[in-house]
Amino acid sequence: MTSEAPLGARSGAAATTSPASARVEPLPPAERTLAAMLRRGAERHGDRPLLTFGDATWSHRGLLRLVAARAQGLRAAGVAPGDRVALMLSNRIELLEAFLACGWLGAAAVPINTAAMGPQIGYLLKDSGARLLAIEGGFAERLASAGLGETAVETIWVVDESAAGEGRADAMRFEGIACGAWPPLPAQGATADPVPAAEPPILPSDTLAILYTSGTTGPAKGVLCPHAQYHWWGVHSAEILGVGAGDVLCTTLPLFHINALNTFAQASLAGARVVFEPRFSASAFWATMRSRKATVVYLLGAMVPILLAQPPSAAEREHHVRIGLGPGVPASAAAAFRERSGVPLLEGYGSTETNFVIASAPDRSRPGCMGWLRPGFEACVVDAHDVALPPGEAGELLLRAAEPFAFASGYFGKPEATVAAWRNLWFHTGDRVVREADGAFRFVDRLKDAIRRRGENISSYDVEQVLQSHPAVAAVAVYPVRSELAEDEVMAAVVAREGGAIDPAELVAFCRTRLPYFAIPRYVELVADLPRTENGKVQKFRLRERGVTPAAWDRQAGAEGGR
């Protein structure tokens, strides 16, 4: 890995910027691209620290040179503007380096969840048409069951810093695919331009990334995220959190999701510094935030109850954190978190397809509410026929943006799904909300058949397909039930084949190599039949209403334990 010498931690007291005092100016419409964001950061902030992974730190100018060099390497590997590059990497510089280099070159990055197993990896590669795959050495063995011969992958780069890393890459053999270690950067001459020229022509409407969101009634869909959408994610998030040049943003969330990717956009636009940690650790969280001198943190709903379950300690107050983003955190948990740590958590609403459209503020919040609509967006709450409902009545949340390409462009290769989601000139979120009389929005539930566990969106369809492939299973329905962490748990109602028997523990073990760990059912209930409509459709709402019954098997109560 090539980097500048570490620049050291920022010293001094916590930043005091606030949403009222910090203002991130959006770029002119024609310059709302990743390349323009990086160039403006390099020109304005130069050698100020921008990005930290582990002990290595890059400045605004230094990262730009790194990205431009990696883009050159992608081009040498045959990647052209418009091509897709798949990235299955944990939180490390190579992931962000390749993501940004794709944007610089005009290609589209396709981040893959590191928990994905062979079948899911194969589907994502085939659906996206990715030509190059960068994968961490520890995940490479999963490719054996990915069906790479049915994909467009021509080149595989194995990222591994261990002594056996290069040997692992050399040992990989797939017909028609060139496999090798993550290549070193092309040489940068001593007279290299400290602010390289961008790769023209890249437009704000061009696709920067294809981010896969779990399917609800079918396979996962690739969300086409244009450059301008990424720009606006950074602008709005930075304004909501009051990010300024003195801030240190620190996240433990995975870089294959928009939340962490957006954290980099905030830092780049505001001239701040962002630190990416390898993973979330409840026991080490506050010590890490203190050592990094973090002023802004990022948490998901379940993470806060997990932190509160830790024994109270002085470390919860010995830090520089002034604010946190915590969408989906129960109001009682947010209040307890602030009491123990002194850190207020802001609520909000956004999705991969939209942007940060609804948010609260430290001086304007309400328990149980997501917040108020942001400038530049429109929202409407409607009934099943897209007819607007009055305040106080629950309905589906519809959204649209005033700025061009501030939302996703649609679903890759799925025009019918795109039309269905963006019908009547509004994006249909599939979420049921209530708009209060003063404009505040309160989340009620999801209309879509999706499950959210440990900060991950889970497709019940994907889980059902795996369970259905078990030879003893005749029928299955997967649905969410609530857990003690104020999030969803995965439950499966299973019907055995005639004359067959099902061992829930064995069924879960069957899933372990076929599903991401977070998608493996916690509860399994063996039933004689599933509740159905007259035309045979499973009535999952009846199963959800019934919840966890005494007859359900709980893997967390068994010998296996749960995650």
Cα(146)–Cα(336) distance, rounded to whole angstroms?
45
pLDDT given at position 469: 87
Q: Which residues of 484-497 are buried (b: 16+ CB within 10 A; e: fewer)?
A: ebbbbbbbbbbbbe
pLDDT single digits (tens) 372-382: 999 999 999 99
Per-residue pLDDT tens digits for 195-244: 676 566 899 999 999 999 865 456 789 999 999 999 999 999 999 999 99
Domains and CATH numbers, the chain: 52-188 (3.40.50.980), 458-557 (3.30.300.30)
CA distance 322 to 302: 21
What integer pLDDT is reported at residue 275 of this predicted model?
A: 98
Model pTM?
A: 0.83
pLDDT value for 208: 98
CA distance 146 to 87: 15
Q: What is the side-by-side strand order in the sheet with 358-359?
A: 348-349, 358-359, 372-373
Residues lower than pLDDT 50 in the chain:
1-21, 189-191, 216, 559-563
C-beta separation of 303 from 331 below 8 A: no
- Say if CB 380 and CB 194 are below 8 A apart: no
Which pLDDT does position 195 carry in this prediction? 66
C-alpha closest to that of 131 among 92, 83, 99, 179:
83
Those residues with Cβ within 8 angstroms of residue 364's Cβ, 6 or more apart along the chain or in another chain: 371, 372
